[in-house]
Amino acid sequence: MNKRIREPLFHIVKRDAPSLKRIFGVRIAAILLALLLCGIVTMITTGLDPLSVFESIFIGAFGSKRKIWITLQNTAILLLISVALTPAFRMRFWNVGGEGQILVGGLAAAACMICLSDKLPNALVILCMAAGSLLAGALWGFIPAFFKSRWNTNETLSTLMMNYIATQLVAYFTIIWEVPKGSGKIGIINQDSNIGWLPEVFGSKYLLTIIVAIAVTAFIYIYLNYFKHGYEISVVGESDKTARYVGIKVGKAIVRTMLLSGCLCGLVGLLLVGSINHTVTTTIADGQGFTGVLVAWMCKFNPLTMVFASLLIIFMNRGAGEISTNFGLNHSYADIITGIILFFLIGCEFFIRYKIQFRKKTAKEEK
Amino acid sequence: MKADNAAVSIRGVSKSFGSVRANYKVDLDIYKGEILALLGENGSGKTTLMNMLSGIYFPDEGQIYINGTERVIRSPRDSHALGIGMVHQHFKLVDVLSAAENISLGLHEKLNIRETEERIREICEKYGFDIDPKQKVYDMSVSQKQTVEIVKVLYRGADILILDEPTAVLTPQEAEKLFDVLRRMKNDGKAIVIITHKMHEVEEISDRVAVLRAGEYIGSVDTKDMDVEQMTSMMVGHSVSLNIRREEPVGVKPRIEVKGLTVRNDEGILKLQDVSFTANTGEILGVAGISGCGQKELLEAVAGLQPVESGEVTYIRDDGTREPLLGKDPLSISEMGVSMSFVPEDRLGMGLVANMDIADNMMLRTFRRGKGPFTDRKPSKKLAKEVVKKLEIVTPGITTPVRRLSGGNVQKVLVGREIASDPTVLLTAYAVRGLDINSSYTIYNLINEQKEKGVAVIFVGEDLDVLLELSDRIMVLCGGKVSGILDARTADKRLIGRLMTSQGGGESHE
């Protein structure tokens, strides 16, 4: 070859339809590489043996029966949130207000527990809580959707702002309901009577959340793929011109979908307050309204793959928590580990969709 | 190996996208001082080949010689440096910048806007362009934007120019102006490649045609040695006859009556003014006019997609009962039992969902059918298979997203779906825009079949020759007004051309 002519060292070529084998292969490789890097980072920064670090991660997530249950429960919550956001996302309605919708759902549940515990029997209180949470979440979803359909406001901004309103509402009611006065906390509600505590299922306090998450995920999967509403959502998401062309009322579809999305977030609030924490704080959603956005995107809005993505994130989170306590590390360590894994998982999508072609020599050798 | 004195010699160039072979061992020479028309069906790899010259794609194999020297084009910048300039189908300009700013964008030289403007004026004078360097792009018409693109490549010193379907967005008059400019550049010794589907333009402007078929180079011939039918045969690989059959309309009865229709768009600009006409069953009503003269608004108003300021649109049933259509959306129109099909101009943005597969796109109009909350996908799959088979749609299968299909096949999917619902009214806007000649004739035949079945067809077109051959009557729009309704069998092309540009709009020929 003439020296003057230099081909670029590599160029990037788009693949058309990557095979399933490739998709999973690349993702698994990405996770393994991420773990390797996590190990190296741990070793360099703390001098610990990476193997024992990995062991700790695993023990942290699955070390005991209780730990397994908590991991599964947390996975269920994250999964529920991601799935709740998905109908809106499929419609290209960027609902980043999951956090607020969860909070108001939780607040409504707590309000029922506090205000109705001496007025109504337990079963009715729980019914009121459920209705209140779902409605509150739905309302928080409805407001931005209504504005969007009426005046075409930017939903990212309005849903985000609704989060702050929700946080401040919870802060306000915390002061009103704080126990004991001056503590700045509501504390465990109805600790003695257990009124409004959601029932245990098969003798396990964790199972309810998990069952609800499975049921909702299955429902949303079917709703999006086989329901007429789901089909409408896909059409509206692609182009509202097409939607109008076939007579879909876009505003109506937006409002309906956000009612559903908000409602499901409210359900998460109900579970967090009624079944898991038995109290409400401004940080009860713990940023998972945003982590859910990430999970939904990572899974390309497919509810089934979200099961694995949420499990992975919670697994790493729990494991990293264990490391920080075992080895006396700061809790930020958990975030670093999660960050590395997410970086690899999202980055690997490039290698699924594109292929890097190196200079021709290799191609000639192949022949 | 390479031809002497060729400005560009492409040798053995191949390019694949995954399993799709866009180009395979293409050899092509482009000479100075000639206009080469690159022909091929939709999806035959013309644009891909030219994109490799302009540095957007990198060939999988093969060599490119520029002025006799082998070169490697890694990026658009390499391509500029070699004097290659490409004007893309979709313009790549920054709206908020002026023409001069757009032109100097990305150049590695000190920005002196006054000097740039001066040089732009020189170029404009030399080749007869008409643009104001200070004008912002958002203020420009489509044709002005295209001019900026062409001046941009000339400014960078290009002497090999590639134009990808430059006339698709131009009126006949603007196209004529563009051709004058191209001839001047040719006489100036530049090498020009033009990709187009309009065969009469090929005959008018090009010196030589080169044909690609399914990514392979078939050959090149001097334009004067060939007629349109021969060129088309070369493109599709078998002989074709290019005749539009036109039967006499049978059982003509009024179906859609439009009276005094006046429409303003979102910005409050008057788009249609007092438009009245009747569309009859078993007849094709052609609509001619310079683009943007209200054709889009007219069809959308009839289809229930466009709010109307005043006027009437009446649907007349077989038994003579009359029902107003205005104020109804597409859903309530179909609930009235009126089967109205509409092939909109914006195929992937309006008529189809680009990311959905063919089967799901078939369901767009019918997904509400059946009781219960679930969709029934069986009929749409069956329909998809039928349409693919009947219209010879080239696709890996019915589960392929329509965005992966080539333009002609996309349009066949859309038209196939729209006529599958046994319409009584068929509205089509620029049904063959961007389609190669073979696909165009398939579409004409489908529309004719509908007419023969007694459908009232409104056909908005841009090619006057086709309108004259296909329609039974032609309505000419000019600035939102009807400037004439003529019998297409006796109408004169020049008269229509005059009506398209006349401002009065008063004369009516029925």
The per-residue pLDDT for A7 is 64
Rounded to an integer, what is the distance from CA B441 to the centroid of its chain? 14
DSSP run (H or E) holding B368: none
CATH numbers and ranges of domains, chain B: 6-236 (3.40.50.300), 250-339+423-440+457-510 (3.40.50.300), 351-421 (no CATH)
Cα A113 to Cα B112: distance, rounded to the nearest angstrom: 72
CB contact under 8 A, A227 and B74: no
Least confident of B136-140, B169-173, B338-342: B169-173
CB contact under 8 A, A363 and B61: yes
pLDDT at A366 over 70: no
pLDDT at B242 over 70: yes
Assign B471 a pLDDT band (cuts: 50, 70, 90).
very high
Say if CB B411 and CB B399 are below 8 A apart. no
CB contact under 8 A, A239 and B350: yes
Q: Does A361 touch chain B (CB under 8 A)?
A: no
Alpha helices in B128-171 (DSSP H): 142-155
The per-residue pLDDT for B504 is 44
pLDDT at A227 over 90: yes
The per-residue pLDDT for A362 is 42
| pLDDT, mean of residues A302-324 | 87
Q: Of the segments A10-19, A161-170, B53-62, which one has the largest average pLDDT value?
A: A161-170
Alpha helices in B255-313 (DSSP H): 295-303
Give helix A332-353 / helix A303-326 axis angle, nearest 10°: 140
Tokens standing for residue B197: 């589907």
The per-residue pLDDT for B509 is 40
Cα B422 to Cα B277: distance, rounded to the nearest angstrom: 23
Q: Which of A22, A228, A354, A364 to mutate to test the interface with B (most CBs of B within 10 A)?
A: A228
- End-to-end CA distance of chain B, in Å? 63
The per-residue pLDDT for B157 is 85
User: A174-215, pLDDT tens digit by residue?
Assistant: 999 888 777 878 888 888 888 888 888 888 889 999 999 999
Say if CB A262 and CB A140 are below 8 A apart. yes
**Residue B201 one-letter amino acid:** E
Q: Calculate what percentage of chain A has a pLDDT beyond 70.
A: 95
Give the position of tokens 């182009």: A239
Residues 6+ apart with CB under 8 A from A364: none
Say if CB B492 and CB B500 are below 8 A apart. no
Instruction: Quickly count helices (H) and strands (E) in chain B.
Output: 16, 20
ipTM of the complex, rounded to two decimals: 0.78
Alpha-carbon Rg for chain A in angstroms: 24
pLDDT at A342 over 90: no
The per-residue pLDDT for A360 is 58
The per-residue pLDDT for B240 is 74
| pLDDT, mean of residues B407-416 | 87
Answer positive or negative: Cα dihedral of B221, B225, B228, B234: negative
pLDDT at B505 over 80: no
Tokens standing for residue B229: 């039918």
Contacts of B352 in chain A (CB under 8 A): 242
Say if CB B254 and CB B247 are below 8 A apart. no
Alpha helices in B307-348 (DSSP H): 330-335
Find the angle CA(B211)-CA(B238)-CA(B43) to the nearest 5 degrees.
45
| pLDDT, mean of residues B285-291 | 87
In chain B, % helix, strand, coil (3-state, to 5) comes to: 35, 25, 40
State the average pLDDT for chain A: 87
Least confident of A18-27, B409-418, B421-430: A18-27
Contacts of B378 in chain A (CB under 8 A): none
pLDDT at B12 over 60: yes
Strand partners, B460: B287, B429
Assign B448 a pLDDT band (cuts: 50, 70, 90).
very high
- Long-range CB pairs of B469-472 (<8 Å, 24+ gap) are B469/B244, B469/B246, B470/B244, B470/B246, B470/B284, B470/B286, B470/B444, B471/B284, B471/B285, B471/B286, B472/B246, B472/B249, B472/B283, B472/B284, B472/B285, B472/B286
Q: Tell me the nearest-neighbour CA distance from A129 into chain B, angstroms.
A: 28
DSSP output for A78-125: HHHHHHHHHHHHHTT-----HHHHHHHHHHHHHHHHHHHTTTS-HHHH
The per-residue pLDDT for A1 is 40
Q: Tell me the nearest-neighbour CA distance from B428 into chain A, angstroms.
A: 14
Least confident of A1-5, A222-226, B31-35, B497-501: A1-5
DSSP state of B254: E
The per-residue pLDDT for A363 is 44
Q: Does A366 touch chain B (CB under 8 A)?
A: no
| pLDDT, mean of residues B159-165 | 90
Q: Which of B70, B299, B353, B404 to mutate to test the interface with A (most CBs of A within 10 A)?
A: B353
The per-residue pLDDT for B299 is 93
Alpha helices in B227-324 (DSSP H): 228-236, 295-303
CB contact under 8 A, A13 and B17: yes
| pLDDT, mean of residues B62-85 | 88
Q: Does A241 touch chain B (CB under 8 A)?
A: yes
| pLDDT, mean of residues B155-161 | 89
Higher pLDDT residue, A250 or A353? A250
Note if the bond before B396 is cis, omega within 30 degrees.
no
CB contact under 8 A, A234 and B353: yes
Q: Of the segments A1-10, B109-118, B312-321, B395-404, which one has the largest average pLDDT value?
A: B312-321
Say if CB A183 and CB A176 are below 8 A apart. no
The per-residue pLDDT for A327 is 77
Higher pLDDT residue, B371 or B455? B455
Minimal-distance CA residue of chain B relative to A358? B60
The per-residue pLDDT for B428 is 94
Contacts of B360 in chain A (CB under 8 A): 231, 234
Contacts of A152 in chain B (CB under 8 A): none
Q: Does A16 touch chain B (CB under 8 A)?
A: yes
pLDDT at B49 over 50: yes
Q: Calculate what percentage of chain B has a pLDDT beyond 90.
A: 31
Question: In a 10 Å sphere around its CB, with 0-12 CB exposed, 13-18 middle and 19+ buried, how is residue B371 labelled?
Answer: exposed
The per-residue pLDDT for A71 is 93
- Count of CB contacts below 8 A, A vs B? 87
Tokens standing for residue A11: 């160029």
pLDDT at A365 over 70: no
Cα B127 to Cα A340: distance, rounded to the nearest angstrom: 58
pLDDT at B381 over 60: yes
DSSP run (H or E) holding B373: none
pLDDT at A123 over 70: yes
pLDDT at B508 over 50: no
User: A35-80, pLDDT tens digit by residue?
Assistant: 888 888 888 887 778 788 778 888 888 989 999 999 999 999 999 9
Q: Tell me the nearest-neighbour CA distance from A361 into chain B, angstroms.
A: 11
Cα B378 to Cα B398: distance, rounded to the nearest angstrom: 12
Question: In a 10 Å sphere around its CB, with 0-12 CB exposed, 13-18 middle and 19+ buried, how is residue B32 labelled?
Answer: middle
The per-residue pLDDT for B90 is 77
Strand order in the sheet with B191-195: B84-87, B160-164, B191-195, B34-39, B208-213, B216-222
Say if CB A195 and CB A61 are below 8 A apart. no
Cα B452 to Cα B472: distance, rounded to the nearest angstrom: 12
pTM of the predicted structure, to 2 decimals: 0.80
State the average pLDDT for chain B: 87
Cα B464 to Cα B438: distance, rounded to the nearest angstrom: 18
Cα A231 to Cα B355: distance, rounded to the nearest angstrom: 13
CB contact under 8 A, B349 and A241: yes
Q: Which of B69, B375, B378, B413 to mutate to test the interface with A (most CBs of A within 10 A)?
A: B375
| pLDDT, mean of residues B80-107 | 86
CB contact under 8 A, B72 and A7: yes
Cα A177 to Cα A187: distance, rounded to the nearest angstrom: 9
Q: Residues, chain A, total?
A: 367
Assign A5 a pLDDT band (cuts: 50, 70, 90).
low
pLDDT at A12 over 80: no
Closest CA to A257 of A33, A77, A92: A92
Residues 6+ apart with CB under 8 A from A1: none
| pLDDT, mean of residues A155-179 | 93
Cα B159 to Cα B161: distance, rounded to the nearest angstrom: 6
Interface of A with B in 216-235 (CB under 8 A): 226-232, 234-235
Assign B4 a pLDDT band (cuts: 50, 70, 90).
low
Q: Tell me the nearest-neighbour CA distance from B437 into chain A, angstroms.
A: 27
pLDDT at B291 over 80: no
Least confident of A293-297, B150-154, B167-171, B268-272: B167-171
Q: Which of A3, A231, A302, A353 to mutate to test the interface with B (most CBs of B within 10 A)?
A: A231
CB contact under 8 A, B351 and A242: yes
The per-residue pLDDT for B502 is 65
| pLDDT, mean of residues B335-347 | 89
| pLDDT, mean of residues B317-341 | 88
pLDDT at B40 over 50: yes
Least confident of A9-23, A147-161, A204-218, B235-249: A9-23
Say if CB B283 and CB B231 are below 8 A apart. no
